Amino acid sequence: MTRQSPVTVHDKADPDTVAIRWLGHAVQLLDQRRLPAEEHWLTIEGAAGVAQAIRDMAVRGAPAIGISAAYGVALSARCADESDWQQEVRTAIDQLAESRPTAVNLFWALQRMRGVLDQCQSRTDAVSRLAETAVTIHREDLAANIAMADLAVDAMELKKPCSVLTHCNTGALATGGYGTALGVVRKLHQERLLKRVYADETRPWLQGARLTAWELARDRIPVTLNADGAAAAILAKGDVKWVIVGADRIAANGDVANKIGTYGLAVLARHHKVKFMVVAPASTVDMSVASGRDIPIEERAGDEICQFGGIRVAPEKVDAFNPVFDVTPADLIDLIVTERGVVHTPEMTGMHQLFE
């Protein structure tokens, strides 16, 4: 099979920090388990490989998971047998849906791809239309991130540069490019409204230490890496005016599921009168769940917290609890920014004014 050049999805994001490349016959994923030490690309030609990459967090980040899964569905049509292509693609969709439970972007993307599949009359038709839809989902996410950054910076109404604190990684590596919360950081920097970003290392997977610090250093954005436990002392100093984070699923009432540790940050922010902003595309809003109580929270292997950099640091056989998301109640959030607009949660009752 001839190797095709990457399909141009981006015209704004820095191609160096994009984590997903569509080749037409395969999808390339920058293996985020190996960053920052090594930039290694996985070339995957089937849905099962994409599902494995999501499960193993070679690709992670709610929007990036949805985009990768969409490419996985497109690849399943290319690989399907002529005699049973519809069932084979449906099976691939089901496989991808089982890869991780919390980021609703995954299920949003799969539902959209399923809708296209149901309209296809032949495998050839499915191959081209599913690929086009996956590329569109990718491009839409990038466009949403750029739009959200503009909306967020306007909503912050900054009169002078300020420092912010962020958690996990919400940059180009976690999305279709540019980033959600880190997209706002990029915009603040571009507008000369950013003093410094404090980046939580984000135990246990270290998305902050390994990915956010890597992205911001490459963009020459002033970043200070801090232990998760140092966030309280940093907010107490008074230099940080905003905590800006992403999301994996936003419930109808505005409760937000995000990386473990986000809820604690929101409590700290409220205590220290620091504004708390969530930035997430519409594909992260799940109006089918009434509140955060209904959001499935992924628990990963306890071993992930018993080791550090591949070296075991806890005694053998110790019990470990490793939920990788938590839920921040809407009343601790000052702003939720989507590409459809900004929700001011303390005054507003959830997402209804922007989503039905």
Residues making up the annotated binding site for substrate are 60-62, 100, 207, 258-259
Please report, as residue ranges, which positions from 222 to 261 form the binding site for ligand LNRAV4D5 (by CB under 6 A).
245-248, 258-259
Q: Are 20 and 59 in contact (CB under 8 A)?
A: yes
The site for ligand LNRAV4D5, by CB under 6 A, has a size of 17
Distances, alpha carbon 62 to alpha carbons 65, 110, 314, in Å: 5, 13, 30
DSSP for 209-256 reads: IIIIHHHHHHTT--EEEE-GGGHHHHHHHT-EEEEEE--SEEETTS-E
The reply on whether position 60 binds ligand LNRAV4D5 by CB under 6 A is: yes
Q: Which of residues 97-116 bind ligand LNRAV4D5 (CB under 6 A)?
A: none
Does residue 210 bind ligand LNRAV4D5 (CB under 6 A)? no
Single out the segment in contact with ligand LNRAV4D5 by CB under 6 A; choices: 60-68, 124-132, 146-154, 327-335.
60-68
248 is annotated as an active-site residue: yes
What the block records as the tokens of 114 is 């399923």
Q: What is the DSSP code (8-state) at residue 199?
A: E
Q: How many CB atoms lie within 10 A of CB 101?
A: 17
d(CA 104, CA 101): 8
Listed residue (37, 264, 261, 244) closest to 151, CA to CA:
244
Least gap, CB of 91 to ligand LNRAV4D5 (angstroms): 24
Among 17, 99, 133, 170, binds ligand LNRAV4D5 (CB under 6 A): 170
Q: Which of 26, 44, 58, 61 binds ligand LNRAV4D5 (CB under 6 A)?
A: 61
Q: What is the DSSP letter of 172?
A: G
- Out of 141, 248, 255, 326, pick the active-site residue: 248
Interface contacts to ligand LNRAV4D5, rule CB under 6 A: 60-63, 168, 170, 174-175, 180, 207, 245-248, 258-259, 324
Point out the residues that are catalytic: 248
